[in-house]
Amino acid sequence: MSIYDSPRFHVIDHPLVQHKLSILRDKHTSSKTFRALVTELAVLEGYEALRDLPLEDVQVETPLEMTTAKRIVGKKLAVVPIMRAGEGMVNGILTLVPSARVGHVGMYRDEETHLPVPYYLKFPRHIEERTCLIVDPMLATGGSLTAAIHFLRETGVKDIRCLTIVSCPEGVEAVLNYDSEIELYTCTVDRQLDENAYIHPGLGDAGDRIYGTK
């Protein structure tokens, strides 16, 4: 069985997702549009990643009669962006779950080794009781995402779901092999990594495109 057949791996091939992704890839897309699309894709991915949230029956009085309706059972969530680019996805998740807490993992890739260098960690209290959505638009070597998973597991978090927008085979394999419980969502698995660990065809440097830093 290929790793791509894993029930823990989800490629979101919805037409709206694929349409928005095509605009994201375009080098002529402005930072303003790029940011908006990253937020919209986070909403669509978050919707998929949270489709198993448990529901309970509640009694509701409509203007016409009492009825039984469904509400999410007090499930607590946290969204954990990998800075910087992951922050672009936070508001999309908060649109879906406004009460979610936000933790941060600050990391950048060393330009020579391509290994992640952590520089900041801040998690909400009792994060171990929450379902955590790690968000980062790019999954390249997998070094950054596996490090973020490691930090959350170290604090005792059990339910972790990772949301990326563009992935490549190397990164998907690294993450699924690193943690046997992880759920991984992405919008595409691109062809390959180059010698600088950039994804091809990809969309370039997500952080630079979100923040206009290049």
Active site includes 194?
Answer: no
Interaction between residue 138 and ligand PRP (CB under 6 A): yes
- Residue 198, contacted partner among ligand PRP, ligand URA, none, CB below 5-8 A by kind: ligand URA
CB 116 within 8 A of CB 107: yes
- Listing DSSP states for 30-78 in one string gives -HHHHHHHHHHHHHHHHHHHTTT--EEEEEEE-SS-EEEEEEE-S--EE
Binding mask 82-121 for ligand PRP (x = CB under 6 A): x-xx----------------------xx----x-x-----
User: Can you tell me which of 38, 131, 136, 179 binds ligand PRP, judged by CB under 6 A?
Assistant: 136
Active site includes 71?
Answer: no
The closest alpha carbon to 45, from 8, 101, 81, 96, belongs to 96
Cβ distance to ligand PRP smaller for residue 76 or 106: 106
Interaction between residue 142 and ligand PRP (CB under 6 A): yes
The first and second tokens of residue 42, run together, are: 């986070």
d(CA 186, CA 167): 7
Active site includes 205?
Answer: yes
Active site includes 113?
Answer: yes
- Residue 92, contacted partner among ligand URA, ligand PRP, none, CB below 5-8 A by kind: none
d(CA 138, CA 142): 9
Residues 40-69 that bind ligand URA (CB under 6 A): none
Residues 98-157 that bind ligand URA (CB under 6 A): 138, 140
Cβ distance to ligand URA smaller for residue 87 or 96: 87
The closest alpha carbon to 136, from 189, 196, 204, 88, belongs to 88
Residue 131: count of CB within 10 angstroms of its CB: 20
**Total number of residues binding ligand URA (CB under 6 A)?**
9
Query: What is the C-alpha end-to-end distance of the chain, expressed in Å?
Result: 41
| Residues taking part in catalysis | 109, 113, 205, 208
Residues that bind ligand PRP (CB under 6 A): 82, 84-85, 108-109, 114, 116, 136-145, 171, 197, 205-207
